[in-house]
Structure 1
Amino acid sequence: MKALVVACALATVLAGCGSKPAAQQPTPTATQVIPSTVSGTVPVPTNTVPTDEPTDAAVPPQVPEQATAPPPANAGPLTAHNLPAPEKLGAGWKTYTDPGGAEAGFIGNNTWTRRRDSHQASYEALPSGCSGHLVKGSLPVPTFALTGTYRTADALPATALLLRFRNAAKAQAYYTGYQTRMQACGTGGDLSVKQLWATTTAATAVRSYAAAESYVDVSVLKGATVALLATTSTHPEQQADWAHTAATALESVID
């Protein structure tokens, strides 16, 4: 169950299954980012490019077509080289090749990275189920989205999501909107968010879902890229120092 909840994110950070939706309003799509909800009969993300280019990441995407082939390991210019090597995130960390499947919501591609639909990934990374003030306003949709999966030294799932925008201004707009929503989420709802620390280009929070596991959520902005890293933790509020290490590792390679 632990691997299912996190390895699917961001979303948060970040990428295809779990126990709670990852956006501000119910999504019509059957597959989700960290954490999310799927079933064994729903369609998996499409690998085709939509006819109409989406313009607002705060609006639910259309239900994707069922994929008939594994997603590519790269997303445009984004590759595994734009994700931290596992040893940079901590001793004993490893990359993890997610086999995918109906419950995971995608077809495995025999590697630890996979392309996501950019609208779906950026929408599902937003917090939902919050008891706090509902933040409104449009957010830019990234041009590319790439997910990478890891396992921690304790064999707990971790997922990174990279969102590459058309330019730095759009990345800044999405990052600001993401942080605003996280800070306004509050506690006591289906999702509770507690901020641990923040700078102008990086932040760490704890996402706790009712009757589910908690996640350490690290977000970083650099250039035209926003990176979201989420990992299950048995002691998430004690991970503030580790999150600084993770943020530095992300910042060094994402853009």
Structure 2
Amino acid sequence: MRHQYAVLLAAAALLTGCSASVVAEPDGQPVDVPSTPMGFPSIVGGTVPVPTITPDTAKPTDAAKPPATPDQATAPPPAEAGPVSSKNLPPVDKLGNGWKTYVDPAGAEAGWISNNNWTRERNAHQAAFEALPVGCKGKLPASSLPVPQYALQATYRTGPDLPATALLLRFSDEQQAQQYYTGYEARVKACGTSSDADLSIKPLWSEQDAAAQLRNYAGASAYAEVAVRQGRTVALVASAAADPAPQPNADWAHSVVPQLRTVIDSA
């Protein structure tokens, strides 16, 4: 962009410095004609209009596409994301037996700076995009998804001391939250269970605005995940599966749905 601006300025300087060429009318009287190159604006009143270079500040509109510029960590993130805070998460003992909050130390490898808290604000576009399945064998839908207004992430350790996270995505209205949830679940169902893919997903159960599944990453642990939409908010809670069998994870997911519905969309 800076190079383009310099080119425009150079073109303007060339125009204002040009001498006029001289042609003759039939009566022999000379007439000055500005020697304006093709493709540049004409000179009016001795000045050249220079286009205003405005940075692209348009807000992102599609959470199914990655951010043009990844979030750059220059300081610890806030522990709240606008109106969304730890009060929008159930008490830790309601999420599972032996669960506890966990302060992620973060660091350069993680790409963000720890705020010494178990919750942190996320770039809403980036968080909503990264929550979607990637590396599946199945063909995922290409539909666009709304970008939330706020995103809050929480980190935990389960009873067996395995990692777990919760992500709250708060949208501007219920319709956008429903659209994201529906698109999210459509991608989960389309991912497939092929063992030779980077990611396979086995659906466990689904009901109105809530569902659970098992994510299996190649060469890594399986994760049990529950997704819930309540009002303007979508909650995604994932836990490393201590038992890879479907039923215990399906039961756990069922148990946390009412706990999430109670608080995730409260003011």
TM-score by length of 2: 0.75
Larger relative contact order, structure 1 or 2 (CA cutoff 8 Å, min sep 6)? 1
Q: Distance in 1 between matches of 2:148 and 2:74?
A: 24
5 Å-filtered alignment, 1:159-178, equals 159-178=165-184
**Structure 2 residue 143 is matched with structure 1 residue 137:** yes
Q: Assess if the C-alpha contact under 8 Å between 2:215 and 2:222 holds in 1.
A: yes
CA displacement 1:163-193 (0-9 Å, x = unmatched): 0000000000000000000000002211100
**Whole-angstrom distance in 2 between the partners of 1:197 and 1:65:** 34
1:175-254 to structure 2, matched below 5 A, reads 175-188=181-194, 189-236=197-244, 237=246, 238-254=248-264
The whole-number CA distance in structure 2 between the counterparts of 1:138 and 1:130 is 18
Paired with 1:120 and 1:161, the residues of 2 have a C-alpha distance of 12
Give the Cα separation in 2 of the matches to 1:112 and 1:156.
15
**Corresponding residue of 1:148:** 154
Point out where structure 1 has 5 or more consecutive residues left out of the alignment: 1-49
- Equivalent residue, structure 2, for 1:114: 120
In structure 1, the residue corresponding to 2:263 is in which secondary structure? coil
Gaps of at least 5 residues in structure 2 are: 1-55
- What corresponds to 2:104 in structure 1? 98
Q: CA separation in 2, counterparts of 1:201 and 1:247?
A: 10
Query: Does 2:53 correspond to 1:53?
Result: no
Query: Residue type matched to 1:150 in 2?
Result: Y
| Alpha-carbon distance, 1:98 to partner | 0.8
Between the aligned partners of 1:122 and 1:252, the Cα distance in structure 2 is 22
Percent identical among aligned pairs is 58
Structure 1 residue 230 displacement after superposition: 0.5
Over 3 Å counting, the alpha-carbon distance change for 1:170 and 1:65 in structure 2 is closer
Offset at residue 133 of structure 1 (A):
2.1
Whole-angstrom CA distance in 1 between matches of 2:76 and 2:96: 29
Q: Deviations over 1:91-139 (max 9, x none)?
A: 2110111111012221000110000000000001000111112211100
Report the residue type matching 2:164 in the other structure: A
2:69 aligns with: 63
Distance 1:119 1:183 in 2: 22
Offset, 1:247:
1.5
Residues 71 and 126 in structure 2, CA contact (< 8 A), matched pair in contact too? no
> 1: CA distance between counterparts of 2:217 and 2:160?
21
Matched, 1:158 2:164: yes
CA distance in 2 between partners of 1:84 and 1:251 (Å): 9
Q: Structure 1-normalised TM-score?
A: 0.78
CA distance in 2, matches of 1:135, 1:114: 30
Q: CA deviation at 1:65?
A: 5.2
The aligned amino acid for 2:82 is G
Please tell me the residue identity of whatever aligns with 2:259: A
Distance 2:71 2:146 in 1: 23
Aligned residues: 206
Contact 2:202-2:213 at 8 Å conserved across structures: yes
SS for the counterpart of 1:246 is: helix
